[in-house]
Every structure is written in structure tokens, then in C-alpha cells.
Structure 1
Amino acid sequence: MFRSYLQETLTPYTFTIREVSLIGNSIWKRNLSLYVMFAPVIVFFIAFKYMPMAGSIMAFKHYNFGDGIWHSPWVGLDNFRVLFSTPATIQIIRNTLLLSLLSIFIGFPFPILLAIMLNEVKAMWFKRLVQTLIFLPHFFSWIIVAGIIVTVFSQQSGVVNELWKSLFGHSFAFLYHEGSWLAIFVSSGIWKEAGFSAIVYLAALGSIDSSLYEAAGLDGANKWKQIWHVTLPGISSTVVLMFILSMGRVMEVGFDQVFMLQNSTVSNISEVISTYIYKIGLMGSQFSLTAAIGLFESIVSLILVIITNRIARKFGSGLW
């Protein structure tokens, strides 16, 4: 196949099979270092992404430790019937979609806005300082972030509640009301990840030809019009790509964030698939049920990616 590809690529030039083979060997040797660098990535995906897919067969079996994955009794779709006949499962799926979609549609524009604002900053010392400050939260674990949130919003001694008391004369349980908990959940995710996510858009902004800004300025476009007509179209393909990838994670609300922030008072909206798998699968040893809901989660994510990509292709910006 490689030889036929070379022959098609190099036409209308005429080469013998030997010459094509020599050219192919030369290309291989010249790029050998790149192949070696890429090899660990291939091994990682095979070992940790593709091979574990075989474990999905547990969703169709009544798994037990004694018989193992391959010899456990086959039950077909019984695990899925049990799952979707339980009202708690429907609520968990609803919560997962709610938290994920809120995080995507509210949080998605923030990295873009940060990247555009940083790109417009001319003082390099200030730009580097701001970049450091907004990138830093990404490297905090959710244990640290949750500790900060609990300290800030504590009903007894939190900074926000002290201000609330001075204004309204009473405290407010921010972490124990569903509306305020949702706002804290979404905003904490934005605060932690928006700065780091902006790196991708900053790289895309760096590839925009500066002469386009000069031409727009000569045509009388102010800074806002330059951003609208030059900057945003210049990174539109990157924005679409990141949105498609984010839609693939709709069913994957981060376990750490939810688990560290949730409490029994707001369990009606904070219990999601990832925490359900932990509590029922690992703590309750119902591995077949959690494998079934994990497989359902993956299928839904795949469907959403395909649909989003098809919509993007209609505007000429599909991922494939």
C-alpha cells in the first residue's frame, strides 16, 4: 500500500519499483526519530484505552470473582433492564447531563475570552503575571480546591457568609441549597480549568497573520471589529474542534469535583454516573451493573461526538 501510495503521489514522474522502494526507505529513516517518539503514545492507547474495552463484556454477564470475566454466567441485557427500571438511574443520568451541559455551555466561552484578552495585552511582564495566576489553579487537586471552597462558603465562618451577614443580617447555607450549589460547582470548574484551557486558543491566535490586523486597521476597523472579523474567524476551526471534544465528555462529569463538593442535602442534583459507579460498583461490588451503565455512557458520548461533528461539517469545520 505504501509503495502504491508513493507511485500515485509521484506521478506524472516515472520511477521503477526499486527507486520507489529506495525513496520509501529514505523517508522511513529520515522520520525514524518521530516514529520512536510516537511509539509510547501508541503503546499507551493500546494498553489503557483499547485493551480495557474487552472488559465491557461484564455488562452482559453476572460477574463474580470466582468465575472471572470470561466464565461468569451470560445474562444478556438483564443488567440494562435492571438499571433502566430503577428510578434512581434515570435521575443520575439526568444529573450527569445537567451538570455537564451547564459546565460546557457556561464554561466553554471563558478560555476563549481569556485567550483573546491575553493576546491583546502589550506589556509582557503583565501578560506573564496574569498567565501564571490563571494557569496555577489547574495544578491544584480537587481536594485543595474543595477545601478552599468550603472555607470560603462556610455558613459559620466563611468570607462570603460574613459579607452576607453584614448585608442581610443572617447567614446562608450556600453549599446546602441546590441552586447555589450548582453555581458553585460550575464556577469552581471554570476557575480551575479556564486558564489552562486557554493555552490551546493562545496557540491558535499566534498562527493568525498579523498583516490581517494591519489591513483591518487601514480599513478603519477598531479593536472590537478586528476581534470580530479577524481574531474569531482565525480560531474558529480550533473552537469547533474543542467543542466537539467537549461534547464527547458530556457523560463524564469529573468524579473528583462532584465527590468532594457533594453532600446528602443536595444529592438530588449531585449524584452522577461517576459517583454512582464508585458507590455501587466499588463499594457495593455490583460490577456488572456499573459496567452496563459505563458502556451506556460511552455509547451516548460516541453518538454525541458523531452528531456534533456532522453539524460542524455542514459549516466546513468537522473533525473528520
Structure 2
Amino acid sequence: MELSYHPEPAIPKKNRPRIRKEGMILLGMAIPFIILAFAFHYVPLFGWVYSFFDYRPGIPLSKTEFVGFEHFKEMLTDRNMVRVLANTLALSFLALLCAPVPLLLAVMISEVKSNRFKRIFQTTSTLPHYISWVIIYSLAFSMFSSEGAINTILMRLGFIDAPLNVLGNSEHVWLTQTLILLWKTIGWNAIIYLAAIVSIDSELYDAAKVDGAGRFKTIWHITVPSIMPTFIVLQLLAVSNLLSAGFEQYLVFNNVMVADKIEVLDLYVYRLGLVLNDYPYSTAVGMFKSVISIILLFLVNGLSKKIRGESIV
């Protein structure tokens, strides 16, 4: 028996110029963004050279003493680095522990039958993402300061005798900042899981109903397993960014009473470079953070390939 071979139809010649033209148009649209990304993310990397010199503002780099890895050795004896790294890792791990909350919110929103209530609730929870940290600090100060609304109400009702120092309590500052961050980002992070839930095949839910599965069993056996790959990828990316706990939040909420517990690595680099004018050492610390973050990214990428069979980058 002879097997017949049917080659795939070739693309008509008249369509080839059109395909090339559309590709060139898309490439042209992407070029400005590629240039911006290169200018703001890669060109500044040339500034890493300052970490190898004893640079002082106003003195040309050619006339500056070359010190090699002295600033990197200084990090090994810098007591502040231990404190700053502890703050950064603690706040990052607390954020990781709160990661299932947006997933839970997305599942709850998807189970709401009223489309109007669903839109209102989703818009309300997403709105804080678009508010700047300066405005959020102003809101938090008006609510939780010694003369804020919360303390005033609690004192008038007789629940407390003295105002609670929420924003100046160094013992609970990690928990306070984590809750504020969760309030700001929970709605935005839930959108990713909502998109994953929408992509689930509706026939799975129909089959579950036929088998007599209730709402909670349907969520546990269909919804959660279907969005779990998305959750794992986001968690792996979060692990690679452990040293990037944030900057704006801790800059605006920083005060004398919580400074030792709230100073993260990004804020420490800012203080070294722009407040203390120690540009070489701040550059070295920034390089340390970038290199460790890249290493973590490749580690979690390899872990993802072994566990899931797919890489994330």
C-alpha cells in the first residue's frame, strides 16, 4: 500500500509582502519602548564602575583613586547591612505569606452571581493600587495617628484610656506595613487570578454539577487546581525579588521610632547615596542586590523546570 504525501499549502506570494509589512509595523511600534527600556534599565549599569573607585562628587573619575573591591569588603563588616537585610527579608517573607489572600479574593468574586455587585466590589478593591504612597500615608496618618479618627472614636467609646501609637510602634511595624501593602495590592493581584478563572473550561463545571458536586467541592477540585500554576509562577517570581521589598512605602512611613525596623535595602541605598553622599559604597550595595536577585531568578527558574517541567523565563 502506497502512502500518499500531501504537502502543506504554501503561503500565496501575494500575501507574503503583507505579512512582512505588518511585522515591520509592529516592530516599529515596539522600537520606542525598547529604546526607553534600554535607556532606563541598561545604560545606568555603566554607573557600576563607581563602586570600584573612591569617587567624590566634583572630581573626575579619571583622577579618582581605584580601590578595587574595597567597598564590597566593607559590606562584610557593616553592621547596618545585617539589620537592613533582616528587615528586607522579614517584610518580603510576610508579603509571601499573604500571597494566597488575593487568590481567595478572586475566587470569592468569581462566585458572586450579581454582575453589578461583582463590578463594584472589584473596582473598590482595585482602586488603592492607583493611589500613590504619599496619599496612602496621609490617609493612614489621619486614621491611626494619636489624634486620628480611630483613636478618637475608641477613646470616646471608652475602649482605651490612651491613644494607640500604630504608626510609631517598632514592635508591630512589620505587621502594620504588611497589612497596608496587602490593602493596596490585593485587588490588583486578584485580577491575574480572575483572568485565570475565566479561562477555565465551563464544561468542567457542568460535569461537576451533573456528578452532584456542590459549590465548595467545585471550587476545591476545579477552580483552585486550575489557577494553581499561575499562583506557583507568581510565587516563584516573588521569591526572586526577595531583596526588592519596596522603596516608596517605607520612605513615606519612615520615622524616628521605627527607622531601625523599617529601613529596607532600597531605602538604605537611597540614604547612603543621596543623604550621606557615599556614592561608591551605595553603588556597591546596589550591585550586591542586583546580582543576588539575578541569582535567585535563575535558581527559581531551574526549580520551576524541575517541578513543573516549564521554565518561567
* Fold match (TM-score > 0.5): yes
- The structure with the greater share of residues assigned to helix is 1
- Corresponding residue for residue 152 of structure 1: 143
**Aligned to 1:65, what secondary structure does the other structure show?**
coil
Shift of residue 189, structure 1, vs aligned partner: 0.5
Q: Is the Cα contact below 8 Å between 2:141 and 2:148 reproduced in 1?
A: no
Q: Which runs of 5+ in 1 are unaligned?
A: 1-11
Letter paired with 2:172: S
Alignment of 1:1-320 (within 5 A): 27-68=19-60, 72-106=64-98, 108-160=99-151, 162-163=153-154, 166-316=158-308, 317-320=310-313
Shift of residue 177, structure 1, vs aligned partner: 1.9
Shift of residue 133, structure 1, vs aligned partner: 0.7
Cα distance per residue 1:115-140 (max 9 Å; x no partner): 11111112111111111111111111
Cα distance per residue 1:72-106 (max 9 Å; x no partner): 43211100111221211211111111112212222
Cα distance per residue 1:193-247 (max 9 Å; x no partner): 1111222221121111111111122122221222222112222222222222222
Paired with 2:64 and 2:94, the residues of 1 have a C-alpha distance of: 40
Q: Is the Cα contact below 8 Å between 1:57 and 1:69 reproduced in 2?
A: no
Range with bigger deviation, 183-192 or 274-283: 274-283
Cα pair distance change 1:124/1:280, threshold 3 Å = same
Q: Is the Cα contact below 8 Å between 1:153 and 1:161 reproduced in 2?
A: no
Q: Is the Cα contact below 8 Å between 1:151 and 1:158 reproduced in 2?
A: yes
Letter paired with 2:36: F
Cα distance per residue 1:236-261 (max 9 Å; x no partner): 22222222222232111221110111
Letter paired with 1:154: S
Q: TM-score, normalised by structure 1?
A: 0.86
Letter paired with 1:83: M
Which stretches of structure 1, 4 residues or longer, exceed 6 Å deviation after superposition? 19-24
Paired with 1:225 and 1:284, the residues of 2 have a C-alpha distance of: 58
Q: Which runs of 5+ in 2 are unaligned?
A: 1-5
Paired with 2:268 and 2:8, the residues of 1 have a C-alpha distance of: 63
Cα pair distance change 1:277/1:123, threshold 3 Å = same
Paired with 1:111 and 1:70, the residues of 2 have a C-alpha distance of: 52
Cα pair distance change 1:265/1:48, threshold 3 Å = same
Q: Is the Cα contact below 8 Å between 1:58 and 1:291 reproduced in 2?
A: yes
- Corresponding residue for residue 8 of structure 1: none
Cα distance per residue 1:286-316 (max 9 Å; x no partner): 1110110001111111122222222222221
Cα pair distance change 1:234/1:57, threshold 3 Å = same
Cα pair distance change 1:284/1:246, threshold 3 Å = same
Letter paired with 2:241: R
Q: Is the Cα contact below 8 Å between 1:162 and 1:171 reproduced in 2?
A: no
Q: Is the Cα contact below 8 Å between 1:177 and 1:266 reproduced in 2?
A: yes
Identity value in percent: 31
Range with bigger deviation, 264-273 or 306-315: 306-315
Letter paired with 2:311: G
Paired with 1:167 and 1:182, the residues of 2 have a C-alpha distance of: 25
Letter paired with 1:58: Y
